[in-house]
């Protein structure tokens, strides 16, 4: 458990550093630019009087990216240790869990509350959005769990392809939710093409974050595994 | 890692036996605090400073 947590945190920190750099070099300038575009489109009140300078925002946001990686990595490590026996996929288990994590933390909330392009304004206050967001994370977790359980159960008795079919059902249901859900954002001042591109940027960067966590975690976990089989008594459990 | 016959329930049971509740709660509280600060804290200074990150990660309270 502690070994897995450590692998997870290390993987998260490494990936988080990359992601923080990405936030700094790509996301911040893009957000600046889009906000600039949006503010010329009319009465845009998102940044009435910036309380913090742009440099501070860029630096803190980059730091936030690093911490985000660590947070996800830690959760990944613990979840991997606890749920590993139930995951399908053999050596690809970390990727299955990363997919489940991405679905839970990002995709499920986005079905109702899509990522806001700079310039877009939320239609509802944060007192409604935060509980909704947390609720959707729970929904996402349930969808991921049903999908994986459905696959495991069905694949065991009826073969792999029907397993995949059963696993897709909860995902389709989640997709339908995004169609049914009412809009939660105003269209904003940014051009449609740009805001679509921004959403892709957000979606792909989060997917990439999870995928990289899985890659690095898998590498560390294997190393721990090897060390564990060579010297089973040397359980390094320091640190706390 | 340890055995291949483990089940998820076994893993939970071992974790429950190895880690005392206070440690687990502390860890959970720290994680919750970090998550809350990154994703939901509305305090203007924090909100402004994390603005780009929240946009980039697609978090709702940008």
Cα distance between residue B50 and residue B39, in whole Å = 9
Question: Considering only A108-117, A118-127, A175-184, which range has the smallest mean pLDDT?
Answer: A118-127
Is B17 in the A-facing interface, judged by CB distances under 8 Å?
Answer: no
Distance from the Cα of residue A25 to its chain's centroid: 20
Residue spans of the domains in chain A: they are 2-42+52-229
Is B43 in the A-facing interface, judged by CB distances under 8 Å?
Answer: no
Question: Considering only A13-22, A33-42, A155-164, which range has the smallest mean pLDDT?
Answer: A33-42
Mean pLDDT, residues A49-65: 80
Give percent of chain A with pLDDT exceeding 70. Answer: 86
Write down the pLDDT at residue A3.
86
Using left for φ > 0, alpha for ψ between -120 and 50, and beta otherwise, residue B19 falls in beta
ipTM (interface predicted TM) = 0.83
Residue A159 pLDDT > 80, yes or no?
Answer: yes
Residues in chain B within 8 Å Cβ distance of A228: 1
Phi, psi of A211 (to 5 degrees): -60, -45
Cβ-based neighbours of A115, under 8 Å, separated by 6 or more: A198, A199, A202, A203, B55, B58
Residue A137 CB: number of other CB atoms within 10 A? 15
First-residue to last-residue Cα distance in chain B: 41
Residues in chain B within 8 Å Cβ distance of A27: 52-53, 55-56
First-residue to last-residue Cα distance in chain A: 13
Write down the pLDDT at residue A239.
37
Cβ contact A31:B55 at 8 Å: yes
Distance of CA A85 to CAs A65, A75, A80, A164, A228, Å?
31, 17, 9, 19, 18
Residue A69 CB: number of other CB atoms within 10 A? 24
Write down the pLDDT at residue B15.
86
Cβ-based neighbours of A76, under 8 Å, separated by 6 or more: A8, A11, A12, A97, A98, A101, A213, A214, A217
Mean pLDDT, residues A220-235: 61
Distance from CA of A59 to the nearest CA of B (A): 8
Is A141 in the B-facing interface, judged by CB distances under 8 Å?
Answer: no
Size of interface A-B (CB pairs under 8 A): 125
Write down the pLDDT at residue A121.
77
Long-range contacts of B15-21 (CB under 8 A, 24+ apart): B15/A1, B15/A81, B15/A82, B18/A1, B19/A1
Cα distance between residue A24 and residue A106, in whole Å = 20
Write down the pLDDT at residue A237.
41
Cβ contact A80:A1 at 8 Å: no
- Under the banding of pLDDT at 50, 70 and 90, the label for residue A232 is very low
Alpha helices in A23-92 (DSSP H): 28-39, 54-83
Is A29 in the B-facing interface, judged by CB distances under 8 Å?
Answer: no
C-alpha count within 13 angstroms, C-beta hemisphere, residue A103 = 23
Residue spans of the domains in chain B: they are 20-62
Give percent of chain B with pLDDT exceeding 70. Answer: 89
Cα distance between residue A46 and residue A101, in whole Å = 31
Tens of pLDDT along B3-57? 556 788 888 888 888 888 898 899 889 988 888 888 888 787 888 888 888 888 8
8 Å CB contact of B14 and A1: yes
Is A23 in the B-facing interface, judged by CB distances under 8 Å?
Answer: yes
Q: Find the helix or strand (DSSP H, E) in which A148 lies.
A: helix A126-158
Mean pLDDT of chain A: 83
Cβ-based neighbours of A98, under 8 Å, separated by 6 or more: A76, A210, A211, A213, A214
8 Å CB contact of B60 and A225: no
Tens of pLDDT along A82-92? 998 888 888 88
- Under the banding of pLDDT at 50, 70 and 90, the label for residue A31 is confident
Query: What is the DSSP secondary structure assignment for residue B1, as one 8-state letter?
Result: -
Cβ-based neighbours of A33, under 8 Å, separated by 6 or more: none
């Amino acid at each position: 458990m502690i070994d897995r947590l450590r692998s997870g945190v290390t993987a998260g920190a490494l990936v988080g550093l990359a992601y923080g750099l990405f936030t700094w070099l790509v996301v911040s300038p893009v957000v600046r630019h889009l906000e600039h575009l949006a503010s010329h489109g009319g009465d845009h009140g998102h940044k009435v009087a910036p309380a913090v300078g742009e440099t501070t925002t860029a630096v803190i946001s980059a730091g936030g990216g690093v911490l985000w990686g660590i947070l996800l990595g830690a959760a990944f490590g613990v979840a991997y240790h606890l749920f590993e026996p139930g995951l399908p996929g053999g050596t690809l288990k970390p990727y299955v869990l990363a997919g489940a994590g991405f679905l839970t933390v990002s995709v499920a909330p986005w079905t109702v509350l899509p990522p806001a392009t700079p310039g877009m304004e939320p239609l509802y206050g944060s007192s409604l959005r935060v509980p909704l967001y947390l609720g959707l994370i729970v929904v996402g977790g349930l969808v991921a769990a049903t999908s994986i359980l459905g696959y495991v159960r069905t694949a065991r008795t009826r073969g792999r392809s029907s397993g995949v079919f059963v696993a897709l059902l909860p995902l389709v249901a989640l997709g339908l939710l995004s169609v049914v859900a009412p809009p939660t954002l105003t269209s904003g001042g940014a051009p449609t093409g740009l805001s679509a591109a921004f959403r892709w940027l957000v979606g792909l960067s989060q997917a990439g974050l999870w995928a990289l966590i899985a890659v690095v975690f898998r590498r560390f976990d294997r190393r721990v595994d090897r060390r564990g089989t060579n010297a089973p008594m040397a359980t390094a459990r320091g640190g706390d | 890692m340890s055995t291949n016959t483990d089940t998820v329930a076994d893993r939970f049971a071992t974790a429950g036996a190895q880690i005392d509740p206070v440690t687990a709660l502390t860890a959970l509280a720290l994680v919750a605090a970090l998550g809350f600060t990154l994703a939901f804290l509305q305090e203007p200074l924090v909100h402004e400073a994390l603005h780009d990150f929240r946009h980039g990660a697609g978090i709702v309270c940008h």
